[in-house]
């Protein structure tokens, strides 16, 4: 396949997993439970892995060919519609089909989605197929999994907002199915419905925005679709449309992004999405679902670049403020979470909020003529999306590894028993059928027992915190700097700029708290004492993503952020020159304000937040237990700080704020009340309408037809004489009518 042909075959990237969906379901129904299907095919996991591997190879080929240029291709045309315009006398033709569009934004998201879906597939084979609660139904999981991946890949590659929306809704359906995978649990069924309904609220506004956008650009569409990128991103077309109406359309679309990416106030669904299996959590939080909202906002960049000066600034400010509020709110709630996956869920919300603030900064700068600064802010935001996806995918899979082995250890302790010396100073937690394998209160001391998982979570946590030279540091600092650059020009931007700066210290605390509670100190339960890394397949993606996160310094040195900020052109710099520039720019910035800002952010995230976490939750391992050298120093330091600290947090733990945070700031109560009053109320009205109107009409028709049939039956005497008389009479009537007409 030559390079020029690759884009023509790009449709296979989402198509292959889409076609695998019915295949896995069909084969699963036929062979479910058979030894070959379970052991060799992994209940459809190997089929899914094959197609996701093929999609990844095709994606990498496409990326290689279109790394530094914009590409587009028409894949197929559904139909063409023509009609005659009575006013002009011209015949208008419209073509409706699917095409591929690729630029720097597509390249980055395509790699993230394809790469992480492939790794999550590997992880799923280890997680799902060795968990007894998933017995003989994993084919449904893998079928829904590949369909979900197909939706994300198709959304990224689509060449119009119409197709973006179609794949967007496909992901929404799959998220409902996957979150509610354990549908027999009331909590899982509730979480699935909650996610579906909450995101649908945003989708309603997204549809409204797309309709307004179609109405604005339809006069300039020609033979193309009015929502095609070729039409809506044309600078001449953007200059012709009304700026106020355009801002309204983009604002409606942004609300859809808020719902999909779980930002305030449509954030309530994401923590409950943990009810799905851990691979689902990793898929939704890192690879697909939440990034879709960010993608649609980033896709708005050309509108802001070419619209009237300052015409769209209000929307950019709103995007940044929503991001800032969500960053701090989610971080606060993460402070008190004990569920390992829920800490990561709120971390996801907070880090996505950073990206929204960065995108808001980029859009404001673009709409006000600061092109270079806008490109920098956009690049930093997209680079943070990449770094966050790699780190968060690794963190969720690592948390799944911990939970998976905790389940196995609990099963071992509960059913096989142990020597008496294991029972002297622990609860009989193995007799508790309600043992919570996800609670950090039941963990501790796992750094020596799960070295691969502990390393992955250590590196991933440092990336999210923004520890210098690792992962997210390079991009997070760029976002903070961009927000403050805008704040110096637009005072209202001080709010989101200050919020994300405070959020840096908060991130350092809750991520450090999570790691120390899980891996440092002594085991808090007997189950934790018997945890070991023993499940195959699971460590593979953890090792790969650990190296990907560490490699962020290479990407930073090659000016990946600068490259991502320019959608149409750009090239990589040599690493030696690039890393020298980046190191100087970060640590020796010629701008005194930005230099101080950088060190303040580093101090908050590297020193203040982790120090508090060490003081409260640090501790040494059991005697004779050692972690790997790259982690042991952190554990030893935490033990010293914890031992020397006299900090008492009992007042905070019992405060009204802490109680409110435990209750998620009561947003879930508001959601439940709204659902009860709105959704349930609407359902009751529908029931009344159905019973009184629909049923009434149907019953009236039924009774009328019954009466008519009874009367007709009375006329059917069975006598030939009567039938002849009626036929004669009917003929006479028809003759008289015809005679009268004549």
Three-state SS annotation for 190-237? HHHHHHHHHHHHHHHHHHHHHHHHHHHHHHHCCCCCCCEHHHHCCHHH
The structure tokens listed for 356 are 């929204």
The structure tokens listed for 535 are 């499940």
H or E segment to which residue 77 belongs: strand 71-84
Per-residue DSSP letter, 90 = P
Tell me the C-alpha to C-alpha distance, in Å, between residue 64 and each of 218, 378, 388, 555. Answer: 34, 22, 23, 16
The structure tokens listed for 432 are 């508790």
The structure tokens listed for 434 are 């309600």
Query: What's the whole-number mean pLDDT along residues 650-655?
Result: 78
Per-residue DSSP letter, 537 = S
> In this predicted structure, what is the pLDDT of residue 85?
57
> In this predicted structure, what is the pLDDT of residue 715?
59
Q: Is the pLDDT at 96 greater than 70, yes or no?
A: no
List all residues 6 or more positions away from 197 whose beta carbon is below 8 Å from its beta carbon. 675, 679
The span from the CA of 209 to the CA of 658, in Å, is 39
CA angle 79, 80, 81 (to 5 degrees): 120
Percent of the chain having pLDDT more than 70?
87
Burial of 366 (0-12, 13-18, 19+ CB in 10 A): buried
The span from the CA of 725 to the CA of 736, in Å, is 17
Query: What's the whole-number mean pLDDT along residues 159-179?
Result: 93
Query: What's the whole-number mean pLDDT along residues 257-265?
Result: 92
The span from the CA of 404 to the CA of 412, in Å, is 12
Do 357 and 327 form a contact (C-beta atoms < 8 A)? yes
Bond preceding residue 369 cis, omega within 30 of 0: no
H or E segment to which residue 671 belongs: helix 667-674
Residue among 160, 299, 295, 154 nearest 230 (CA)? 160
Do 142 and 324 form a contact (C-beta atoms < 8 A)? no
> In this predicted structure, what is the pLDDT of residue 86?
60
Name the β-bridge partners of 99.
74
Residue 143: half-sphere exposure toward Cβ, Cα within 13 Å: 16
Q: How confident is the model at residue 1 (pLDDT cuts 50, 70, 90)?
A: very low
Residue among 361, 337, 659, 651 nearest 482 (CA)? 361
> In this predicted structure, what is the pLDDT of residue 170?
93
Q: How confident is the model at residue 92 (pLDDT cuts 50, 70, 90)?
A: low
> In this predicted structure, what is the pLDDT of residue 560?
82
> In this predicted structure, what is the pLDDT of residue 136?
67
Name the β-bridge partners of 95.
80
Number of helices and strands (H, E) in the chain? 35, 2
Q: Is the pLDDT at 462 greater than 60, yes or no?
A: yes
Query: What's the whole-number mean pLDDT along residues 74-90?
Result: 59
The span from the CA of 114 to the CA of 131, in Å, is 26
> In this predicted structure, what is the pLDDT of residue 430?
37
pLDDT digit string (tens) for 692-711?
677 777 777 777 777 776 76
The span from the CA of 5 to the CA of 528, in Å, is 54
Q: Is the pLDDT at 674 greater than 70, yes or no?
A: yes
Which sign, positive or negative, has the C-alpha torsion 543, 544, 547, 552?
negative
The span from the CA of 516 to the CA of 446, in Å, is 10
Residue among 208, 228, 207 nearest 217 (CA)? 228
> In this predicted structure, what is the pLDDT of residue 91?
61
> In this predicted structure, what is the pLDDT of residue 217?
94
pLDDT digit string (tens) for 527-551?
999 898 877 888 899 999 999 999 9
Tell me the C-alpha to C-alpha distance, in Å, between residue 207 and each of 185, 227, 254. Answer: 33, 12, 11
Q: Is the pLDDT at 272 greater than 50, yes or no?
A: yes
Query: What's the whole-number mean pLDDT along residues 274-300?
Result: 85
Tell me the C-alpha to C-alpha distance, in Å, between residue 120 and each of 51, 112, 246, 716. Answer: 13, 12, 39, 73
pLDDT digit string (tens) for 557-594?
888 888 888 765 555 567 777 788 788 878 888 889 98
Query: Maximum Cα–Cα distance for the chain, whole Å?
Result: 116
The span from the CA of 254 to the CA of 383, in Å, is 21
Do 217 and 231 form a contact (C-beta atoms < 8 A)? yes
Q: Is the pLDDT at 647 greater than 80, yes or no?
A: no
Work out the angle between the directed axes of helices 138-157 and 104-128 (0-180°, nearest 10). Answer: 170
Please spell the DSSP secondary structure of 339-403, one letter per residue: BHHHHHHHHHHHHHHHHHHHHHHHHHHHHTT-HHHHHHHHHHHHHHHHHHHHHHHHHHHHHHHHH
pLDDT digit string (tens) for 18-45?
999 999 999 998 998 898 998 899 999 9
Q: Is the pLDDT at 213 greater than 90, yes or no?
A: yes
Do 646 and 538 form a contact (C-beta atoms < 8 A)? no
Percent of the chain having pLDDT more than 90?
53
Do 483 and 500 form a contact (C-beta atoms < 8 A)? yes
List all residues 6 or more positions away from 63 whose beta carbon is below 8 Å from its beta carbon. 107, 110, 111
pLDDT digit string (tens) for 421-457?
444 443 333 344 578 888 999 999 999 999 999 999 9
Q: Is the pLDDT at 138 greater than 90, yes or no?
A: no
- Give the pTM: 0.87
Average pLDDT, the chain: 86
The span from the CA of 585 to the CA of 575, in Å, is 15
pLDDT digit string (tens) for 352-396?
999 999 999 999 999 999 999 999 999 999 999 999 999 999 999
Query: What's the whole-number mean pLDDT along residues 281-294?
Result: 83
Q: How confident is the model at residue 131 (pLDDT cuts 50, 70, 90)?
A: low
> In this predicted structure, what is the pLDDT of residue 661?
86
Q: How confident is the model at residue 94 (pLDDT cuts 50, 70, 90)?
A: low
List all residues 6 or more positions away from 298 whose beta carbon is below 8 Å from its beta carbon. 105, 359, 378, 381, 382
Tell me the C-alpha to C-alpha distance, in Å, between residue 719 and each of 710, 723, 729. Answer: 18, 7, 16
> In this predicted structure, what is the pLDDT of residue 209?
97
Higher pLDDT, 68 or 306: 306
The structure tokens listed for 216 are 């604005």
Task: Determine the 3-state secondary structure of 155 from DSSP.
Answer: helix
């Amino acid at each position: 396949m030559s390079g020029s042909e690759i884009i023509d075959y790009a449709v296979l990237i989402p198509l292959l997993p889409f076609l695998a969906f019915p295949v896995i379901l069909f084969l699963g129904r036929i062979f479910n439970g058979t030894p070959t299907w379970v052991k060799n095919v992994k209940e459809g996991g190997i089929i899914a892995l094959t197609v996701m591997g093929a999609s990844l190879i095709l994606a990498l080929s496409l990326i290689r060919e279109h790394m530094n240029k914009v590409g587009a291709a028409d894949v197929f045309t559904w139909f063409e519609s023509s009609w005659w315009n009575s006013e002009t006398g011209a015949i208008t033709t419209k073509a409706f089909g699917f095409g591929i569009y690729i630029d720097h934004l597509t390249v980055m998201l395509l790699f993230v989605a394809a790469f992480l879906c492939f790794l999550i597939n590997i992880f799923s084979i280890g997680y799902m197929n060795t968990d007894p609660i998933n017995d003989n139904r994993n084919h449904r999981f893998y079928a829904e999994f590949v369909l979900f991946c197909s939706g994300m890949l198709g959304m990224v590659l689509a060449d119009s907002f119409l197709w973006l929306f179609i794949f967007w809704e496909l992901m929404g359906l799959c998220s409902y199915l996957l979150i509610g995978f354990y549908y027999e649990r009331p909590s899982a069924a509730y979480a699935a419905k909650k996610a579906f309904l909450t995101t649908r609220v945003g989708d309603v506004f997204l549809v409204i925005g797309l309709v307004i956008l179609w109405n604005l650009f339809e006069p300039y569409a020609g033979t193309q679709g009015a929502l095609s990128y070729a039409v809506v991103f044309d600078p001449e077309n953007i200059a012709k449309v009304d700026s106020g109406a355009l801002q309204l359309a983009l604002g409606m679309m942004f609300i859809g992004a808020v719902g999909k990416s779980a930002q305030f106030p449509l954030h309530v669904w994401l923590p409950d999405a943990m009810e799905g299996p851990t691979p689902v959590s990793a898929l939704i939080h890192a690879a697909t679902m939440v990034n879709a909202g960010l993608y649609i906002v980033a896709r708005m960049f050309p509108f802001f670049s070419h619209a009237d000066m300052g015409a769209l600034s209000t929307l950019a400010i709103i995007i940044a403020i929503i991001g800032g509020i969500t960053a701090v709110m989610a971080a606060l709630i993460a402070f008190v979470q004990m569920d390992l996956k829920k800490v990561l869920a709120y971390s996801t919300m907070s880090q996505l909020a950073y990206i929204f603030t960065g995108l808001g900064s980029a859009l404001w700068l673009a709409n006000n003529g600061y092109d270079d600064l806008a490109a920098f802010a956009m690049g930093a935001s997209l680079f943070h999306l990449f770094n966050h996806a790699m780190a968060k995918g690794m963190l969720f899979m690592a948390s799944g590894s911990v939970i998976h082995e905790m389940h196995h250890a609990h099963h071992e302790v509960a059913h096989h028993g142990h020597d008496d010396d294991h029972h002297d100073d622990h609860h009989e937690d193995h007799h508790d059928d309600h043992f919570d394998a996800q609670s950090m209160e039941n963990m501790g001391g796992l750094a020596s027992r799960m070295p691969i998982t502990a390393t992955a979570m250590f590196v991933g946590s440092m990336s999210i915190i923004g520890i210098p030279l690792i992962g997210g540091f390079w991009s997070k600092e760029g976002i903070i700097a961009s927000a403050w650059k805008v704040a110096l020009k637009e005072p209202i931007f001080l709010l989101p700029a200050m919020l994300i700066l405070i959020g840096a210290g908060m991130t350092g605390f809750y991520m450090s708290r999570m790691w120390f509670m899980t891996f440092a100190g002594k085991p808090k339960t007997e189950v934790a004492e018997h945890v070991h890394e023993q499940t195959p397949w699971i460590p593979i993606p953890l090792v790969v993503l650990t190296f990907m996160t560490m490699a962020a310094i290479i990407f930073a040195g090659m000016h990946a952020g600068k490259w991502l900020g320019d959608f149409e052109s750009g090239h990589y710099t040599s690493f030696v020159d690039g890393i020298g520039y980046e190191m100087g720019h970060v640590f020796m910035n010629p701008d005194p304000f930005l230099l101080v800002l950088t060190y303040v952010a580093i101090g908050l995230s590297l020193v203040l937040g982790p120090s508090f976490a060490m003081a409260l939750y640090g501790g040494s391992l059991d005697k004779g237990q050692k972690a790997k050298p790259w982690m042991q120093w952190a554990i030893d330091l935490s033990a010293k700080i914890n031992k020397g600290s006299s900090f008492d947090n009992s007042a905070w733990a019992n405060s009204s704020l802490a109680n409110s945070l435990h209750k998620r700031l009561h947003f879930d109560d508001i959601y439940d009340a709204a659902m009860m009053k709105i959704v349930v109320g609407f359902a009751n009205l529908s029931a009344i309408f159905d019973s009184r109107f629909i049923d009434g009409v149907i019953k009236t028709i039924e009774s009328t037809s019954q009466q008519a049939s009874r009367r007709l039956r009375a006329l059917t005497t069975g006598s030939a004489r009567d039938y002849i008389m009626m036929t004669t009479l009917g003929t006479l009537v028809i003759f008289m009518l015809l005679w009268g007409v004549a």
